[in-house]
Chain A
């Protein structure tokens, strides 16, 4: 019997098993118009609104449409859609979980192998319902940037972190998102009946129409020192003055400069011209960070969190509070600078 829980949380093992037992094959799907319609709707909701709705009237359709939607997304094979769909399903799960009883949240959490326990506590007038092992907590919360999610601002004892219901639901949203992202990223090619192929084409078109709305920011054409964030500026000036910079500081500076568009030559020159850095070694290291050597990864500058941990973030300004990476700061500040200069000249 397909229950409410499977309809709400179709990613749960028990729901996936039920779908397996039904053993629907792709060719047979055409006969289940409402399932295909709802699967199509799930993906289009993700594209248009960034969140998938919940339709509880027909639990079977709600549950069965989930693997159909996964199939659509995975067939389209666009990493941008993969992320957007995973996020939208995650949000759907969050909205539903938030309203559930503690026991249901715990059950869903355990399906992700969380080490979670029910524990009621009132702290500073706030009701907490769970305690969660810090490793499960960090796996999901270390990507959040609000102060309240930092482990240091939580109440933790004996390895367990206190959580409210809403917080547990929010962390589960991450799990759901990751799970779905993993499933849809395995892009594959299968033959679809014409009716379904048509739906895939419609979704692709919808995606193209809306992709443009999420615009990217662009770098200034020439490296603009005035727009450097305080942390990078401090290291930059220290290196220019021939003062000592730590390994982490040098890495932050070099990766920043390269990402801001400075050439490998100019970057290496900066270090060798003013101090006793070995020119060959410096060039080698700069090339490494640029992704020409070793692991072939082009390194991005460390995020602000990382710089804070290593004591490199020292005098953050107002703009710093809005960004997570020095490069984003640079892009915004440079754009402001261009506007201002544009006005005065």
Chain B
């Protein structure tokens, strides 16, 4: 975390940002709970509410919090303690974070350090320290284009399902936003889903992840000559997923899916016939070639590849506080920015979400990998003083990777 002098500068910049303009607010903002994390603090101030966008903006200008959150839920009394809030419903929220997606570049830009013995490593933080077995770590995570592209790809898969299967309108009911850090949020607001309880939301999560899918219930029965396709949904997606998976699978992949070496080799031998059968939609023929249990394992592996990597806890939480789009992310200085569904393909958060432009700043950088901000590449830096454009300097200051020079 940045120290006193740095916090002062960052706060000043955040204040300028909020003083400048209008603030975006969620639907029915007066029914929402708001929460804030100040710079340098760990705990959240919550149970607050605002009735107009201007009230909220003035609060932000006055207090310049590092992080701004609002509730996905609508309450009778948003300011009351949890049990007395009076839950009226909640939007459906999906969180896609590059932290939960395997990307090869993490080994290049992420580091961890064991708090117990000081062992350091690169890439994803292990569950426990390989040297001392400790489970507390300091983590250093950086944003990069490849991680963000992977997250966006997952977001697009999710949108396909939400629009095609669930029938949500991309114009009225879906909102996508960049989180300001390593991922995307998708908000669904529709009277249809507002009052869904936790089990119902869990079913939606399972649908999106393909959890519990049974090939048999999508037509893979020994008695069925020809599959009915073209109805959309998982039925068609499953066949496509299986096809794509089988087409690419090699011995290693099949064994990772849980098949024995012998079965995996056999699948590879009959691969072309299987692909043809899938193409023709002939489940009875497929089940004559491979056993049901083998098919189930292939389906599981294929579906996992096809499903969208959402955070299951966020979506099933009826009282979640989520980052308010249009506000600044205290760890990056980037805007958590709304992106319309149509332009998501061409959206580049590391250019579009830059909040501070203009001027130069001299900073001392402890350590930073190569990073891109505002379309310019910087670094890597290690223990050096550099003069940087404001957006890059602020990004490093927010990350706590640099301090003001002099």
A295 to B85: give the CA distance in the assembly, Å: 12
Contacts A152-B234, A157-B231; A309 near B206 (Cβ below 8 A): yes
Interface residues of B in 71-100 (CB under 8 A from A): 82-83
Cβ of B345 within 8 Å of any chain A Cβ, yes or no, is no
Which of B133, B136, B233 touches A157 (beta carbons < 8 Å)? B233
Is A139 interfacial (CB 8 A cutoff)?
Answer: yes
Q: Say if the beta carbon of B211 comes within 8 Å of chain A.
A: yes
Q: Contacts A142-B200, A309-B316: A153 and B214 contacting too (C-beta < 8 A)?
A: yes
A309–B205 CB distance below 8 A: yes
Contacts of A311 in B (CB 8 A): 312
A150 to B234 CA separation, bound complex (whole angstroms):
12
Does B165 contact A152, Cβ atoms closer than 8 Å?
no
Stretch at the interface among B45-53, B151-159, B219-227, B387-395: B219-227
Chain A residues near B199: list those with CB within 8 A.
Answer: 138, 142-143, 305
A133 at the interface (CB under 8 A from B): yes
Closest residue of A by beta carbon distance from B135? A244
* Of the residues A139, A158, A242, A308, contact of B133 by C-beta under 8 Å: A242
B8 CB–A CB distance under 8 Å: no
C-alpha gap A242/B228 in the complex (Å)? 51
Q: Are B168 and A159 in contact (CB under 8 A)?
A: yes
The answer for the CA separation of A309 and B134 in the assembled complex, in Å, is 28
Verify B200–A139 contact, CB threshold 8 A: yes
A160: Cβ under 8 A from any B Cβ = yes
Q: Is the CB of A157 within 8 A of B164?
A: yes
Digit string of B128-146 for contact with A (CB within 8 Å is 1, else 0)?
A: 1000011110000000000
On whether the beta carbons of A153 and B217 are closer than 8 Å, the reply is yes
Query: Which of under 10, 10 to 19, 20 to 34, or 35 or more describes the interface residues of B?
Result: 35 or more
Residues from chain B with Cβ under 8 Å of A139 in the complex: 196, 200
List residues 133-183 of chain A with CB under 8 A from any CB of chain B: 133-135, 138-139, 141-143, 147-148, 150-160, 162
A-B contacts, CB under 8 A, total: 125
Asked whether B218 lies within 8 Å of A153 as measured between CB atoms, the reply is yes
Task: Establish whether residues B133 and A150, one from each chain, have CB atoms under 8 Å apart when the complex forms.
Answer: no
Residues of A within 8 A of B218 (CB): 153
Any chain A CB within 8 A of the CB of B271? Answer: no
Task: Please report the C-alpha to C-alpha distance between residue A159 and residue B217 in the assembled complex, in whole angstroms.
Answer: 19
Instruction: List chain A residues, Cβ under 8 A from B221.
Output: 124
Whether a CB of chain B sits under 8 angstroms from the CB of A248 is: yes
B204 touches A138 (CB 8 A): yes
Q: How far is the CB of B303 from the nearest CB of chain A, in Å?
A: 9
A152 CA to B200 CA, complexed, in Å = 12
Cα-based distance from A247 to B313 in the complex (angstroms): 10
* Nearest-CB residue, chain B, relative to A142: B199
Q: Which residues of B contact A309 (CB under 8 A)?
A: 202, 205-206, 209, 211, 312, 316
Q: Which residues of B contact A111 (CB under 8 A)?
A: none
B233: chain A residues within 8 A (beta carbon)? 154-157
Residue pair B193, A135 in contact (C-beta under 8 Å): yes
Question: Quick one: which of B161-205 are within 8 Å of A by CB?
Answer: 164-168, 192-193, 196-197, 199-200, 202-205
Q: Which chain A residues (231-273) contact chain B, with CB distance < 8 Å? A: 242-244, 247-248
**Across the interface, which residues of B come within 8 angstroms of A158, CB to CB?**
164-165, 167, 232
Closest-by-CB residue of A relative to B205 is A309
A15: min CB distance to chain B, Å: 26
Closest to A148 in B: B217
For B133, what are the chain A residues with a Cβ–Cβ distance below 8 Å?
A: 242
Q: For the complex formed, measure the closest distance between the CB of B297 and the CB atoms of chain A, giving whole angstroms.
A: 14
Q: Say yes or no: is B67 at the interface (Cβ < 8 Å to chain A).
A: no
Complex CA distance for A250 and B239, rounded to whole angstroms: 37
Q: Is B207 an interface residue (CB 8 A)?
A: yes
Q: Are A150 and B135 in contact (CB under 8 A)?
A: no
* A147 x B83 contact (CB < 8 A): no
Q: A122-B228, A152-B207 are in contact. Are A276 and B167 (CB under 8 A)?
A: no
Within 8 A of B (CB), among A277-329: 294-295, 305-306, 308-311
Tell me whether A190 is interfacial, beta carbon within 8 Å.
Answer: no
Known A133-B192, A151-B203, A295-B82: A308·B231 in contact at CB below 8 Å: no
Q: How far is the CA of A196 from the CA of B233 in the complex (A)?
A: 55
Given known contacts A157-B164, A242-B135, A142 and B313 CB-to-CB distance under 8 angstroms: no
Which A residue sits closest to B125, measured CB to CB? Answer: A244
Selected contact of B166 from candidates A125, A150, A156, A242, CB within 8 Å: A156
Q: Taking the nearest CB of chain B, how far is it from the CB of A313, in angstroms?
A: 10
Q: How many Å from the CB of A215 to the closest CB on chain B?
A: 27
* B231–A294 touching, CB < 8 Å: no
Q: Does B359 contact A (CB under 8 A)?
A: no
B383 at the interface (CB under 8 A from A): no
Q: Does A214 belong to the interface (CB within 8 Å)?
A: no
**Given contacts A143-B199, A150-B212, A153-B213, A243 and B219 within 8 Å (CB-CB):** no
Inter-chain contacts of A153 with B (CB < 8 A)? 212-214, 217-218, 234
The 6 closest A-B pairs by CB, nearest first: A159-B167, A138-B200, A158-B167, A157-B232, A142-B199, A153-B217
A-B contact list, 21 entries, CB within 8 Å? A123-B228, A124-B224, A124-B228, A135-B193, A139-B200, A142-B200, A150-B206, A152-B211, A153-B217, A155-B231, A157-B165, A158-B165, A159-B192, A160-B167, A243-B127, A247-B313, A248-B313, A294-B83, A305-B202, A306-B316, A309-B312
Apart from the given pairs A150-B207, A244-B127, A309-B312, 16 other A-B contacts in the complex at a CB distance below 8 Å: A121-B231, A124-B227, A134-B167, A142-B197, A152-B206, A152-B210, A153-B218, A155-B231, A155-B233, A156-B165, A158-B167, A159-B168, A159-B192, A243-B128, A243-B135, A305-B202
